[in-house]
Amino acid sequence: MKQTETFDRLDYTYKLLVVIALLITACLLASDIVVPILISAILAIVLLPIVKRFEKKCRLRFPLLWY
């Protein structure tokens, strides 16, 4: 019975290492796509309060443009 437990543990370890290797590979290959998306999302969050203030000022100065 110990032999099957050892085999199961080795099988689990092997599968875990394969999954980790695939995740690392996917992260390296997807970095060209993911990094610009993350930067644009962070930039949008940072600029949102500034854009809201600017829109309020524009509405007060040019009210006919927003109808």
Containing H/E element for 8? Answer: helix 2-61
Query: What residue type is assigned to position 17 of the chain?
Result: L
pTM: 0.52
Identify the three-state secondary structure at position 67. Answer: coil
Q: How far apart are CA 41 and CA 43, in angstroms?
A: 5
Mean pLDDT of all residues in the chain?
83
Q: What is the CA radius of gyration of the chain?
A: 26
Q: Give the pLDDT confidence of 5-24 residue by residue, as tens digits.
A: 666 888 888 999 999 999 99
